[in-house]
Structure 1
C-alpha cells in the first residue's frame, strides 16, 4: 500500500506565492517540511507520493494507484491522518471507502478528504481531473465513481486553509517536530555552559554539533531546539517556542519572540517574532520581521524588514490568488515572500505584503502590497526581472550556501516566468 497526497488548484492559489514553484507539502511545519511529517506517520502503507501540477515534476511515481492505496488531500494537517486511517479499513473491500468534509458556511461544497481504493486508477487521470477541469472536486468524484465509494463525513477541522494557518499552528507544529525527532539525534547535554542564562519550564534541547554562548533563553511559553550545526552567537535573547534547523546561524544580539521556526542553513539577526523562514534564507542584520512566512533562499539587506500592524490598528488584508482580491487576516500580519526573492538594504515591506518568487526589490520607496513573480525595481517602478539575469543571480546567491539549481528547478522557474511576465 502507498499514500498519494493530492493538491488542488485552489490550495495552490491560496498559498501563493509560497507554492508558486513547489508543492504545498514542501512548506515547513514546525521547522521540517509537511511531507516529512506525512512520511513520519508510518502506518505501514509504504511510500508517500505527491500528485501536483505536471510542470513541478515532483518526483518519480508509479503510473497507477493500486487497490489498497490511499488518496489523501494534503491540505489537512498530517496529524489528522490518524482519524483517516481509523475511519478507513486497512484492506480494500468490494467498495472503495472515502471521507468527505462536512459542509460549512465558508465551505458549502463537500470536498474529498481521503479515499481507500479498491480498483486500479491511473495517476495521470487523477492529475487531469484535478488540474484540467474547472470543478476539480466533482471531476475527481466522477473519476472515482467506478470504485463504488462508500462515503462518510468528517468535520472540516485542522485544515491549512490559508497561509496564516501555518502561523496559527506554529507552536503546536514545533512541539510535534520535536516529538518526531526525539529518538533520531544525539543530544549534547553539556552544551548549555554557565555563560548562558535559562529560565522557564520547557526544555532547551541541543543536538551535538550545535553551539550557544553568552545568551539569554526563556522557555516559559515553549521549548527551544537547536539542531546539529546551529550556531548562536553572543548576546542573543531567545523566547520559545523556537526551532532552528541544521546549520542555522543567529548573529550577535538577535532577539527572537517565539513561535519561530527555520529551515536549514538560515542566517538570522535583528528582531523577529512569530515567523517561518524556509531553508537558506538570510535575514542577518538589524530590522524587524513579524507574523511573516519567508520562502527559501531569500535575502534581506541591512535595515530591511516590514510592518505587521497598520497605523490605524485595523484589519490587515492580504492578497488571495484564489479570489483575486484582498482578504482580511486579523490585526497582525507581516509578509508572504516567495522563494529566491531579495529585499535590498533599507527596503521596508508594508503590512500584509505578498511578494512573488524571484523578485529583486531595492531602494527606500515601499513596494506595493502585491508584487508579481520576477519583478525588479524600486517602489512602484517595477519591470520584468529577465529570466537569464534572475537565474544568474540566484546561482550566485546559492553559491554562498554551497548549493546549485537542479535542472528541474531551472525548468520550473522558466515555466513561471513565461506564465507571469509582462507583455507590453
Structure 2
C-alpha cells in the first residue's frame, strides 16, 4: 500500500507553476508536497496528475492505496487520520475529497469525480489547501517552521564555525558537507536550515525562517529575510525576502526579489528587481489564467514565474506579475504584468520551440544536467497550445 497524491480538478489555478509539474512537486517550506508526506508517514508516495505530465512520475501498481489531495497542507491531525483509515472510507470537506483508502486502478482515477470511489464518506472541517500560486509564499513561514521540526527531530547539526555570528544557535541546523563561514545567522525570528553540501559565502546576513537546499549557494554579502526558501541547486544573491525558488534557479546578483515564487531552471539577470507593493498600498491584483480575471493576492505579491524562464539584466518586474513557462524576458521600463508562455521579449513575439529547447538544454548543462525527452515532449505540448 502506498500514498497517491492527486491533482484536484482546480490544479489550473496554480498556473503557470503547474504547467510543467504536478501539484505534489511544488516546493514550500523545506520540502515538496510529496517529500513532506514521505517524511511524515514513512510510506512510498506516488503522484497522479495530467496525462501529459504523468511520465515524469511513473505509475502506481493496482493495489489498495491511500489517495490524498496533493494541495492539502498536512498537520499532525491529518497524518493521524491517514494512518487510521479503514478500507473504502474517505474524508471530505466542502471543497472535496481530502483523503481516502480504496483499491482502484491508477489509470481509472478521475479527480473531478473522486468521491464516487468510496463507500463511506465522512464530513471533515475545512482543511488548508494551496489553491493559488501566492498561497505558497503566504504559508511559507508556517511550513518552514513545521518542516524544520520534521527534518531535524532527533538529529544533531554539524558544528557551526566560530567565524560566524549566530543569534539563537539552537534554532540553526547545518547538514553535513555544508560550508558556512563569516556569516550572520539570526534565528531569533525563525529557524535556519542549511542543506547538504550547500555554501553560504562570506558576509551573508540571514534572518529566519530560511532554508537553503542541498548543493545551493548564497553568494557574498547576500541579504536574506524570512520567510525564504531556496530549493536544491539554487544560487542566491543580493536581497531576497519572503520568496520561494523551487530548485535549480539563479538570482546570483544584486537586485531585489520579494514575495515571489520562482519555478525551476529560471535565471534572473544582474540587477533584476521586482516590486512587491503598490504605490497606493492597496490590494495587489494578480492575473489568474484559470479564472480569466485578476484576483486579490493580498497587500504584497511580487512575481510568479514559471519553469525555464529568464530575465535580462536590469529587468524591472511590476507588482503582481505573472511570467509563464519558457520565457526570455527583456524590455524597456516596467515590464508587463502578464507575460505568456514562450514569450520572446514582451511585445507578443513567440519564442520558437526548437530554439527554446536548445536554450533550456544549455542552461541545464551549466548544472551538469540535460533536457530529457519527457521534458521536451511536455514543452512541445505547451508550445502548441
1:383 maps to which residue? 349
- TM-superposed deviation, 1:199: 2.1
Residue number among 281, 285, 291 corresponding to 2:259 in the alignment: 291
Query: Structure 1: which 5+ residue stretches go unaligned?
Result: 104-109, 131-135, 420-424
1:111 maps to which residue? 96
1:6 maps to which residue? 6
- TM-superposed deviation, 1:55: 0.6
Question: Structure 1 residues 284, 35: closer, same or farther in 2, change over 3 A?
Answer: same
**Pairing of 1:2-401 with structure 2 (within 5 A):** 2-10=2-10, 12-42=11-41, 46-56=43-53, 57-62=55-60, 64=62, 66=63, 68-79=64-75, 81-85=78-82, 88-89=85-86, 92=87, 96-101=88-93, 103=94, 110-117=95-102, 120-126=103-109, 129-130=110-111, 136=112, 139-142=113-116, 144=117, 147=118, 149-182=119-152, 187-189=157-159, 191-193=160-162, 195-200=163-168, 203-377=171-345, 379=346, 381-401=347-367
User: Please, what is the CA RMSD of the aligned residues?
Assistant: 1.9
Quick check: which has more Rg, 1 or 2? Answer: 1
Provide the C-alpha distance between the structure 2 equivalents of 1:216 and 1:170, rounded to a whole number of angstroms: 22
Residue number among 384, 403, 422 corresponding to 2:369 in the alignment: 403
Higher mean displacement: 72-81 or 313-322:
72-81
- Asked if the contact 1:202/1:221 (under 8 Å) is kept, the reply is no
Deviation sequence 1:324-377 (CA, Å, 0-9, x none): 111001111101000110011011110000100100001333322111111111
Higher mean displacement: 360-369 or 331-340:
360-369
| Equivalent pairs, count | 383
- TM-superposed deviation, 1:70: 1.6
- Asked if the contact 1:202/1:220 (under 8 Å) is kept, the reply is no
Provide the C-alpha distance between the structure 2 equivalents of 1:309 and 1:335, rounded to a whole number of angstroms: 11
- Asked if the contact 1:50/1:58 (under 8 Å) is kept, the reply is no
Provide the C-alpha distance between the structure 1 equivalents of 2:52 and 2:240, rounded to a whole number of angstroms: 35
Provide the C-alpha distance between the structure 2 equivalents of 1:210 and 1:276, rounded to a whole number of angstroms: 20
Deviation sequence 1:371-397 (CA, Å, 0-9, x none): 1111111x4x13110111101111111
- TM-score by length of structure 1 reads 0.86
Provide the C-alpha distance between the structure 1 equivalents of 2:263 and 2:147, rounded to a whole number of angstroms: 19
Deviation sequence 1:290-323 (CA, Å, 0-9, x none): 0111011100011102000011111101111221
- TM-superposed deviation, 1:201: 6.7
- TM-superposed deviation, 1:286: 0.8
- Asked if the contact 2:6/2:24 (under 8 Å) is kept, the reply is no
Question: Structure 1 residues 215, 63: closer, same or farther in 2, change over 3 A?
Answer: closer
Provide the C-alpha distance between the structure 2 equivalents of 1:205 and 1:335, rounded to a whole number of angstroms: 29
Higher mean displacement: 213-222 or 272-281:
213-222
- TM-score by length of structure 2 reads 0.94
Provide the C-alpha distance between the structure 2 equivalents of 1:140 and 1:214, rounded to a whole number of angstroms: 53
- TM-superposed deviation, 1:165: 2.2
